[in-house]
């Protein structure tokens, strides 16, 4: 009798094991093939790390020697509050995920990195799950990094986040892991937008933090799903912050395989209807329709369309990775143009102040009149007339009222006084960087040459090199 019972128990165990194996096979069979991700992003190809590092070092040197001196002399950071650190220059491209809660932002990152069912996968669920800003970056081993540590590390680009306070740093977390994709790009997952929650309840300035990441992002994914298409105050504020960055925005309609084709078309139209008042551009934004998570598409859906949409989005991501050096050079050059315009404007304010001052004049009243009505003294028009400046690049006049309210005009010297025998003139250096050095560096990247001395340094700005040991 005991033998029969043992045999029965043994057969039951075999049956349970076989059932578990069948369930596991059924589960793994619904996992989506990820080979197209590696192929589209070319993760198997090795990069020329030496050339890239040399170009970054050259870019860093141009910024420190030609742009930053004027930036500091005329306190540009107090006007724009965007200080460029070495960590930001050498950082990888940043991809930012924004959107309402539980639309699949974290699931999408898990899918792209293959993190599902791993100890460090981002937590997902039908309820609001992500309450932190999560930065997923490359590291030698898998580990989490506290926000306080990230802000204190000057080698990273996150040290300026300290200005948002300790409450925010407690809501900032980093995840380091060895991954081919993370060697080339950094992902940032954000808390979902909840329209019925006041911003103050978050304990930190949510919109200001979002603006900081938006200003530094190379690609911005704004994710929706078919059940969350309504636009509230917080989402409307977010799109105001995205103004001017339309070329970097990609709108994603996620979880598209939950709908039949006819319903999907209606939802697609409803999404455009909701976003039309928020995106004031002539060309409509690109909307990707798919289901970005590790599991297979639902049956009887447009799986071929979803697959093509996913590959198109991956190609967009790959373009950001491929052009990261060119984008950094363009960003530094654009920053240099803004710093130059700021220096020219402050110089014009200083000159006008000195011209209007007399022995009996009250300095405060004279300068207040200039700041209140700069057009009366042709401050901005004179910049357009005498220098190669576009009127579309000029900053807001009211910004200088606030700027000079903090920084007295007497703290600044005119540009003609910002010259030294060894260092040269600030204006000449920044103009040389904008017109010669940065374009030369960009050309060396595009042509595949080793970035070294610019033509200006090597030949004296287009002149033939002279032999100083030869008698004339």
Q: What confidence tens digit (pLDDT) does each residue in 95-128 have?
A: 999 998 888 898 999 999 988 777 667 767 554 5
Say how many domains are in the chain. Answer: 2
What is the C-alpha separation between 145 and 129, in angstroms, rounded?
Answer: 19
Asked if residue 229 is part of any domain, the answer here is yes
Average pLDDT of the chain, as a whole number: 83
Q: Are 461 and 431 in contact (CB under 8 A)?
A: no
Looking up tokens 């001395």 gives 453
State residue 279's pLDDT score.
79
Asked if residue 4 is part of any domain, the answer here is no
Sites in the chain below the pLDDT cut of 50:
2, 5-11, 13-29, 127, 200, 453-472
Query: What's phi and psi for 360, nearest 5 deg?
Result: -100, 5
Co-location of 285 and 433 in the same domain? no
Looking up tokens 């329209």 gives 195
Co-location of 260 and 168 in the same domain? yes
Co-location of 335 and 450 in the same domain? yes
State residue 196's pLDDT score.
63
State residue 209's pLDDT score.
93
Cα 401 to Cα 104, 150, 158, 395: the distances in Å are 44, 35, 30, 12
Co-location of 427 and 292 in the same domain? no
Helix-helix angle 324-356:397-406, to 10 degrees: 70
Asked if residue 411 is part of any domain, the answer here is yes
Alpha-carbon dihedral of residues 326, 332, 338, 339, nearest 10 degrees? -160
Asked if residue 156 is part of any domain, the answer here is yes
User: The domain that contains 441 carries what CATH number?
Assistant: 1.10.268.20
Asked if residue 218 is part of any domain, the answer here is yes
Q: Are 257 and 301 in contact (CB under 8 A)?
A: yes
State residue 470's pLDDT score.
40
What is the C-alpha separation between 395 and 377, in angstroms, rounded?
Answer: 17
Asked if residue 471 is part of any domain, the answer here is no
Asked if residue 270 is part of any domain, the answer here is yes
Q: Are 228 and 98 in contact (CB under 8 A)?
A: no
Co-location of 144 and 221 in the same domain? yes
Q: Where are the beta strands (DSSP E) in 103-171?
A: 133-138, 143-146
Co-location of 200 and 333 in the same domain? no
What is the C-alpha separation between 367 and 344, in angstroms, rounded?
Answer: 17
Mark which of 234, 268, 301 sits at the end of a domain: 301
Q: Which residue, 178, 96, 171, is CA-closest to 137?
A: 178
State residue 49's pLDDT score.
65
What is the C-alpha separation between 321 and 244, in angstroms, rounded?
Answer: 21
User: The domain that contains 222 carries what CATH number?
Assistant: 3.40.50.300
Alpha-carbon radius of gyration of the chain: 28
Q: Are 454 and 437 in contact (CB under 8 A)?
A: yes
Co-location of 258 and 135 in the same domain? yes
> Which 8-state DSSP code applies to residue 436?
I
Co-location of 287 and 407 in the same domain? no
Residues forming beta bridges with residue 295, ordered by sequence position: 31
State residue 350's pLDDT score.
93
State residue 129's pLDDT score.
52
State residue 462's pLDDT score.
40
Segments forming the whole domain that contains residue 136? 91-301
Co-location of 253 and 338 in the same domain? no
Co-location of 155 and 206 in the same domain? yes
Q: Where are the beta strands (DSSP E) in 194-317?
A: 219-224, 249-253, 287-289
Co-location of 264 and 290 in the same domain? yes
Asked if residue 463 is part of any domain, the answer here is no
Co-location of 359 and 422 in the same domain? yes
């Amino acid at each position: 009798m005991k033998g029969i019972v043992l045999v029965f128990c043994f057969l039951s165990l075999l049956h349970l094991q076989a059932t578990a194996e069948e369930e596991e096979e059924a589960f793994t069979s619904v996992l989506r093939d990820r080979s197209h991700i590696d192929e589209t992003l070319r993760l198997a190809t090795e990069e020329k790390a030496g050339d890239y590092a040399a170009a970054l070092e050259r870019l860093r040197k141009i910024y420190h020697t030609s742009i930053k001196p004027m930036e500091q002399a005329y306190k540009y950071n107090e006007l724009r509050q965007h200080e460029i650190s070495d960590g930001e220059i050498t950082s990888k491209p940043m991809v930012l995920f924004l959107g309402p809660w539980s639309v699949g932002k974290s699931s999408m990152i898990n899918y792209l990195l293959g993190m599902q069912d791993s100890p460090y996968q981002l937590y997902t669920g039908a309820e609001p799950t992500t309450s932190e800003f999560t930065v997923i970056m490359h590291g030698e081993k898998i580990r989490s990094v506290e926000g306080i540590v990230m802000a204190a590390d000057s080698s990273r680009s996150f040290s300026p986040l300290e200005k948002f306070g300790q409450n925010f740093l407690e809501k900032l977390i980093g995840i380091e892991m060895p991954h081919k994709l993370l060697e080339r790009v950094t992902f940032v997952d954000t808390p979902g937008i909840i329209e019925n929650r006041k911003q103050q309840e978050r304990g930190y300035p949510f919109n200001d933090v979002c603006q900081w990441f938006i200003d530094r992002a190379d690609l911005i994914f704004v994710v929706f799903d078919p059940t969350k298409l309504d636009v509230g105050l917080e989402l409307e504020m977010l799109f105001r912050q995205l103004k001017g960055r339309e070329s970097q925005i990609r709108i994603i309609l996620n979880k598209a395989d939950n709908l039949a084709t006819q319903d999907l078309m209606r939802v697609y139209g409803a999404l455009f209807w909701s976003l039309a008042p928020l995106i004031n551009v002539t060309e409509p934004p690109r909307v990707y329709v798919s289901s970005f998570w590790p599991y297979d598409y639902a049956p009887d859906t447009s799986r071929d369309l979803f697959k093509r949409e996913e590959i198109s989005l991956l190609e967009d991501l790959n373009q950001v990775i491929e052009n990261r050096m060119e984008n950094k050079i363009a960003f530094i050059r654009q920053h240099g143009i803004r710093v130059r315009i700021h220096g020219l404007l402050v110089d014009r304010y200083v000159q006008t102040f000195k011209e209007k001052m007399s022995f009996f004049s009250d300095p405060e009243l004279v300068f207040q009149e200039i700041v209140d009505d700069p057009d009366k003294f042709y401050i901005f028009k004179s910049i357009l007339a005498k220098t190669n400046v576009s009127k579309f690049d000029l900053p807001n006049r009211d910004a200088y009222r606030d700027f000079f309210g903090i920084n007295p005009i007497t703290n600044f010297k005119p540009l003609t006084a910002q010259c030294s025998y060894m260092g040269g003139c600030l204006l000449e250096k920044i103009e040389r960087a904008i017109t010669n050095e940065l374009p030369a560096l960009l050309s060396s990247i595009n042509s595949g040459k080793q970035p070294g001395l610019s033509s200006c340094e090597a030949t004296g700005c287009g002149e033939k090199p002279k032999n100083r040991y030869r008698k004339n």
